[in-house]
Amino acid sequence: EVQLVESGGGLVKPGGSLRLSCAASGFTLSIYTMHWVRQAPGKGLEWVSSISTSSSYISYADSVKGRFTVSRDNARNSLYLDMNSLRAEDTAVYSCAREGSRPGVGDAFDIWGQGTRVSVSS
Amino acid sequence: DIVMTQSPDSLAVSLGERATVNCRSSQSVLYRSNSKNCLAWYQQKAGQPPKLLIYWASTRESGVPDRFSGSGSGTDFTLTISSLQAEDVAVYYCQQYYTDPRSFGQGTKVEIK
């Protein structure tokens, strides 16, 4: 079964750090661009970051640039998000998503994980 | 950055009736090299992650019922549910994948009247 499973969420104080992980199974992670998307409580979807297959292209939302770092380990079929200097407004469910591989400038997100909850509060 | 705006924010439709959700992008998402619009629609039910319904603005993902259809080009797009079923109650999001940041619309909540 094709699946993404996130882990690493939790409660952290403002200014703190967390590392989120996303484990892929049922497919070869190395051939897909991957993304992180978050959803604050009761709010809509917000794209956070993307990383290309070989990590040669990385992009971040302005809201997390300079604080978050995305990485991947294709040998371990895993994706990561290192979050530093966390703020209350970073409180959300963080999901990893697979970008499809159809040819073109980009593709839709065809596989999503269930997400891991991050709460930033003192 | 491309801003995606959906309308309405919510709608209530009777079972078996048509539901229409609109999405507008602040600039064209037409990829001229293949003449395809980089626009996707997702369905998110309560407590679940989003599910891809439509890509290239009008192509249904495998397994998606044919009552779901997408249309539009350039900057204006529509998701239509031709005959609303109880299981279609959800929030629907459009997303452009033409460029980073991969922006989403704010979501449209579809309920049963």
Confidence of residue B44 (pLDDT cuts 50, 70, 90): very high
Q: How close is the nearest chain A Cα to the Cα of B92, in Å?
A: 10
Q: Which amino acid is at A89?
A: E
Among the listed residues A67, A52, A54, A68, the one whose alpha carbon sits nearest the alpha carbon of residue A107: A52
Confidence of residue B36 (pLDDT cuts 50, 70, 90): very high
Question: Does any CB of chain A come closer than 8 Å to the CB of residue B60?
Answer: no
Token pair of B107 as six digits: 């979501």
- The pLDDT of residue B30 is above 90: yes
pLDDT digits (tens, 9 = 90+) for A41-68: 999 999 999 999 999 999 999 999 999 9
Q: Enumerate residue ranges in chain A where pLDDT < 70.
A: none
pLDDT value at position A105? 84
pLDDT value at position A102? 86
pLDDT value at position A103? 83
Instruction: Please calculate the CA angle A107-A108-A113 and round it to the nearest 5 degrees.
Output: 130
Chain B partners within 8 Å of A70 (Cβ): none
In whole angstroms, give the CA distance from residue B66 to residue B10: 22
Average pLDDT over chain B, rounded to an integer: 97
